[in-house]
Amino acid sequence: MKIIVLGGGVAGVSTAWHLANSGHEVTVVERCATVAEETSFGNAGMLSYGYTNPWAAPGIPFKALKWMMQDMAPILVSSSSFNARTANWMFQMLGQCGEQAYRINKRRMLRISDYSRSCLDKVTQQVPLDFDHRTKGTIELFRDQEKMDSIGADLASLQECGVEHEVINHAECIQHEPALANVSEKFVGGLRFPQDGTGDCQKFTTGLALHCRDAGVQFMLNTEVHKLEVTSGKVTAAHTSGGELTADAFVVCMGSYSPMLLNPLGFKLPIYPIKGYSLTLPLLDPAKAPESTVMDEAFKVAVTRFDDRIRVGGTAEIADFDLSLKEKRRKPAEFVVGDLFPGAGDLDNATFWCGLRPMTPDSVPVIGSTPIVNLYTNTGHGTLGWTMSQGSACLIADVINNKAPEIDNEGLSIDRYLH
Ligand SMILES: Cc1cc2nc3c(=O)[nH]c(=O)nc-3n(C[C@H](O)[C@H](O)[C@H](O)COP(=O)(O)OP(=O)(O)OC[C@H]3O[C@@H](n4cnc5c(N)ncnc54)[C@H](O)[C@@H]3O)c2cc1C
């Protein structure tokens, strides 16, 4: 089949790879000059197969109100960009904060995250890819004992979902992350996810795009997709700045911009751009740096080690499509990396970046077929699009190939927004 993949982030390029591998003639259409230039460019680098949580959770409305009063709040709402789309999305998200919805959503997320781990292994065995990959787990680090003592509900939910984890004491944190010995008074213990990994999503995606080209995938770069033309329940063409493109099937992988293409066709896909920030520091002293990812529970900031850099990511800003880099948002990232790993990286030469997480109200991505016969989606991966990228791409390839998926795909497609 001739298949057009719309969007060249980690979701689009991975989709193209798996489709090309199953014998299709694939074209990726991307508006930027190269792949992974938008959200897949500077994310925190966590492959969070176990540390996978829906944003909407019991207690979140109250916590969010508390965070908004804080100087280095992990979640912020920008009043200047507040509009009907924002209000509607927040309303839907709050509707997912109940106990039962949380359990359903977490299980759906874990299904795709866990599958992604084995799918990534297969890709890295198939082709050489250099993306600073490490498989040393994640530690959620607790700064105060009271907080650590209150994680009972989280542990029960991890147990119930079969996620491998370990509660580790102060000494065990240092055993896994030796540089923490330099700041031993700053934390009390941690929750470790031994199966988690780390890696640079942009390096992975650009590397995989080269293998895609070798496998025959065409890339139409600097090409904006404007709309899809549908006739008799079938997409007949994609209208782009490079002309009208026809194919047998179309896969939408446009991250936060996916609703702009899909909603004019009658869908009500509630993907909202949740802005996040990252800092990338050149490595100064490996002995003072993390080995893997340390997630500071108090500030919700992740510090991740790449080979010769440290990536610090966090903050969720509800600001619609505003992509301005706000200098004051550097503060939480600078504080956490300086506080937990002093002297590890070069803050004076750090690169500051922001991107838009394509977030659904339930935090579950939207992967599968649609009521339009030759139109598919692989989008809406929110906070975990890098983690979920390979499982999502394998799943959508199986759906398009009419093959039974290797995991249960209940609740993952756009169907859940059709009623
Ligand atoms: C600060 C931050 C930290 C994060 N940390 C992590 C992490 O540690 N682990 C993790 O798993 N995930 C993380 N994420 C989330 C992850 O980065 C995203 O979920 C993922 O990158 C989404 O990939 P995507 O391909 O769907 O979207 P994108 O990378 O945004 O790709 C979509 C592509 O579509 C193109 N496009 C859009 N509209 C059009 C159009 N009209 N025409 C043509 N092309 C178009 C865009 O140019 C873009 O290249 C983080 C995100 C942020 C912002």
CA 29 to centroid of ligand 1, rounded, Å: 15
CA 166 to chain centre: 24
pLDDT at 300: 93
Alpha-carbon span 398 to 378, nearest angstrom = 12
Residues sharing a CB contact under 8 Å with residue 293, sequence separation 6 or more, in sequence order: 44, 45, 46, 137, 138, 139, 196, 198, 302, 303, 304, 305
Say if CB 274 and CB 356 are below 8 A apart. yes
- Structure tokens belonging to residue 336: 């956490």
> What pLDDT does 59 receive?
84
Residue 343 pLDDT: 98
Asked whether the beta carbons of 43 and 313 are under 8 A apart, the reply is: yes
d(CA 372, CA 252): 12
Contact 394, 406 (CB under 8 A): yes
pTM over 0.95: yes
In ligand 1, which atom is closest to the CA atom of 224? 42
Boundaries of every domain in the chain: 2-40+203-269+363-417, 50-99+132-197+272-359
Ligand 1: residue whose CA is nearest its atom 35: 7
What are the DSSP calls for 224-292, one per residue?
A: -EEEEEEETTEEEEEEETTEEE--SEEEE--GGGHHHHHGGGT-----EEEEEEEEEEEBS-GGGS-SS
Ligand 1 atom nearest residue 225's Cα: 42
The domain defined by 2-40+203-269+363-417 folds into: FAD/NAD(P)-binding domain (3.50.50)
- Distance CA(10)–CA(8), nearest Å, equals 7
Q: Between β-strands 2-6 and 25-29, what pairing exists: parallel, antiparallel or unpaired?
A: parallel
Bridge partners, 351 (sequence order): 280
Which pLDDT score, from 0 to 100, does residue 153 have? 83
Q: Write the CATH number of the domain with boundaries 50-99+132-197+272-359.
A: 3.30.9.10
pLDDT for position 81: 80
Spell out which residues line ligand 1, taking CB within 6 angstroms. 7-12, 29-32, 37-40, 43-46, 48, 224-225, 253-255, 257, 276-278, 313, 355, 357-358, 379, 381-387
* Pair 189, 294: CB distance under 8 Å: no
CA of 144 to the centre of ligand 1 (A): 33
Q: How far apart are CA 193 and CA 135, in angstroms?
A: 11
Separation of alpha carbons 15 and 206, rounded Å:
14
Tokens representing 70 are 């804080």
What's residue 76's pLDDT?
81
- Decide: 265 and 6 in contact? Cβ < 8 Å: no
Angle at 53 between CA 48 and CA 57, to 5 degrees: 170
Helix (H, G, I), strand (E, B) or coil at 113: helix
Owner of token pair 């509607």 = 88
Q: What is the mean pLDDT of each run of 10 residues along the chain (419 residues)?
A: 98 98 98 98 97 89 73 79 90 94 94 96 98 97 95 88 95 98 98 97 98 98 98 97 98 98 96 97 98 96 98 93 93 97 98 98 98 98 98 98 97 93
Q: Tell me the best of 18, 40, 76 to mutate to test the pocket of ligand 1, counting ligand atoms within 8 Å of each CB and taking the most.
A: 40
